[in-house]
Structure formats: structure tokens, C-alpha cells
Amino acid sequence: MDSENRNEHSIILKILSGEANQQEVDSLERWVSMDEDNKKEFLAIQEIWIGLDTNHKLDDKLQTEDWNLLNNRLKNTEVKLLKMNSTSKLHWWLKVAAVFVLGFGLAWLMFNSETTNIAYNEISAPLGSRTLITLPDGSSVW
């Protein structure tokens, strides 16, 4: 790890523990705004710090121990995120494929189905009379 990142990590730990001065806060804000990866790294460290629920003041030994713990958890988190992202992409592509298959299937059914002619017949007869009606399918009804 290069010295610039080590310095920024020290400042992050000071800010999270509430021991940073305004100059360090300004320095970190500039570092975070320089690159999207810096912002992601800071947010990941902050999330891990919150999960650790650390309420102690930092000395050099604790800072090193905390940094090692944070770094190890961050490495484990990155691996899990990569696996989850590849699975998410697979699920997304499967959903897209399902939409296309369903859409093409419905379109094929609509355009390739036999059209049946619907016949409506209205028959009227005087009251009290019997009328023989032959329906379009050839059946007869009285």
C-alpha cells in the first residue's frame, strides 16, 4: 500500500473515531471527491466501522489493529460483492431472455391462430308459436 493511501486511511480512522481536525476533514473531502473509487472505498470503510461498533480512542497500536481488521473485512466484502454481482448479472440476463421468449411466443400465438367466424342469429317468433331453427353448426332447435 502506498504512503498516500496509508495517510488517507489514517485520516479516515481519525474522522470515524471523532479525533480529526478540520484540516484532516478537508483533506479527506478532497480525496473522496477526486475519484469515484476513493468515494466507494471511504463508504465501505465507514460501513465496516459502523458494523464494528468501535467506541474507543485511537492510539497507534489500536489504529494498526483496527486498520488490519477493517482491511481484512473489506477484502472479504469485495469478494462477496463480486460473486453477487456476477450472479445478479446472470439473473438479469435470464429475466431479459424470459421477456423476449414470452413476447415472441404471445405474438406467434396471436398471428398464427385460426380465426373463427362468430355468427350471431336473432330469431323472433310470435307468442304461442313453435319455430324450428337450424343453427350454423347444423343442429336444430325448436
Beta carbons within 10 angstroms of residue 3's beta carbon:
7
Beta carbons within 10 angstroms of residue 64's beta carbon:
13
Per-residue pLDDT of the chain (142 residues; tens, 9 = 90+): 455 667 788 888 888 877 888 888 888 888 888 888 888 888 888 887 777 765 555 556 666 777 777 777 776 665 554 555 667 788 888 999 999 999 999 988 888 877 666 777 777 788 888 888 887 778 888 7
For the record, the C-alpha cell of 82 comes out as: 463480486
pLDDT on residue 130: 83
Global pTM exceeds 0.75: no
